[in-house]
Amino acid sequence: MLAACASNPHQATFKPTHSALADLPARAPPGQEGQEANDVLIRAIGLVGTPYHWGGNTPAGGFDCSGLVGYIYRESTGMILPRTSSDMASMDRPKVRKQARLISGDLVFFGARGHISHVGVYVGKGRFVHAPNSGGTVRLDDIDGPYWRDHFAYGRRILD
């Protein structure tokens, strides 16, 4: 069975905000990983506006959250990530517990009561790209916005 995002996150009307993290300096992995992070960011931001589709993992067919993240990493770095957000969260990669310590290219996980139900790609300056819900599109959101701040679990450093 193909599993995707397990929840339907809050769908709010768009209100311009200013992330408190936006004032932090942009951070990327050192060395060659910095170029990979740049490739990840370009691919991720280029997919903003692509329709959401549960179980989707291509631009033509649409994306769910884990399908989007898997596609971004496969196409920009050649990495094959696990298919579901919970399996991605279980990867043996360094965990980043504080939003202020995230760097560009980190995977960011959300959920409640210890259950991971959503994943996105941190692009820096307090923003992340994700495929949030049915009827929506891939979008760029503030990681410390009202819904996401309350459901942030941790990040995983994939490019380190």
Q: Which residues are catalytic?
A: 65, 118, 130
Q: How far apart are CA 134 and CA 53, in angstroms?
A: 7
Q: Which long-range contacts (CB under 8 A, 24 or more apart) does 65-69 make?
A: 65/4, 65/5, 65/118, 65/119, 65/120, 65/130, 65/131, 65/132, 66/3, 66/4, 66/5, 66/119, 67/4, 67/131, 68/120, 68/121, 68/129, 68/130, 68/131, 68/138, 69/107, 69/119, 69/120, 69/121
Q: How far apart are CA 51 and CA 44, in angstroms?
A: 14
Q: How far apart are CA 124 and CA 8, in angstroms?
A: 24
Instruction: State both tokens at 7.
Output: 């929840």
